[in-house]
Amino acid sequence: MMRALVFDFDGTILDTETAWYEAFREAYSEHGVDLTLEMYSQCIGTSLHRFNPYEYLMTERGLPLDKDRFRESVHLRHSELMRREEVRPGVLSYLEAAKEYGMKIGLASSSTREWVDKHLRQLGIESYFETVRTADDVRQVKPDPELYVLALSDLGVDGREAIAVEDSPNGARAAISAGMHCVLAPNRITSLLDFPATGIAHRLGTLEDLEFRRLIASSSQF
């Protein structure tokens, strides 16, 4: 029996990731560098440890850029692109349905608490979540399962009793490692990436592709 639903945030609830990639790609292009999705995907759904798009042009390409000014320009462009973004399709109906089913609802994000809280407030959905775990709470973000393990502990459920909703390969790996049932709803950027071959219960275009009641009904097959 499924007792909990745990969402990722960036790319899953709100597609911030496509806008970040577009903002960085435009900035790189101004300096004659092609930022490929293969390069950028190293930091999607995780930390900037493997690939830091703010520093790459300076550290790897040797360009004499002002780091703060570069960051500011990327953030400004990202904000402009985000004006067209809304809560992703099906997210609100899943939150409402989980609430009606009496399920516990949590959030596990590799972003900072400040970032997540700001957007949850702006979207008006913070009250749905009984626990919110972010990069501020763990030593290792996704694909390490620590974020999900903490969220599950907060909610008092076992991984086998919980569904994770994710959009990225790193997020999926974290959920699977935590023993959860993973439902994928990739966005425009993450849909192009390679996901784990096993351990994914459903892969959807958006959450609207599978009614929540049908997801729960199929849980006996997980």
Task: Give me 159's structure tokens.
Answer: 């991984």
> Cα–Cα distance between 186 and 167 in angstroms, integer?
4
Task: Give me 202's structure tokens.
Answer: 């459903």
Bridge partners for 182 per DSSP:
164, 200
Kindly state the DSSP code that residue 162 receives in the 8-state scheme.
Answer: E
> Cα–Cα distance between 211 and 217 in angstroms, integer?
10
> Cα–Cα distance between 43 and 50 in angstroms, integer?
7
Kindly state the DSSP code that residue 87 receives in the 8-state scheme.
Answer: B
* N-terminal to C-terminal alpha carbon distance within the chain: 10
68 is catalytic: no
10 is catalytic: yes
Listed residue (218, 134, 189, 193) closest to 12, CA to CA:
189
Q: What is the four-CA torsion angle of 35, 37, 41, 45, rounded to 10 degrees?
A: 100
Listed residue (5, 36, 34) closest to 44, CA to CA:
36
Task: Give me 9's structure tokens.
Answer: 């945030």
- Rounded to a whole number of angstroms, the CA Rg of the chain reads 18
Q: Which residues are catalytic?
A: 8, 10
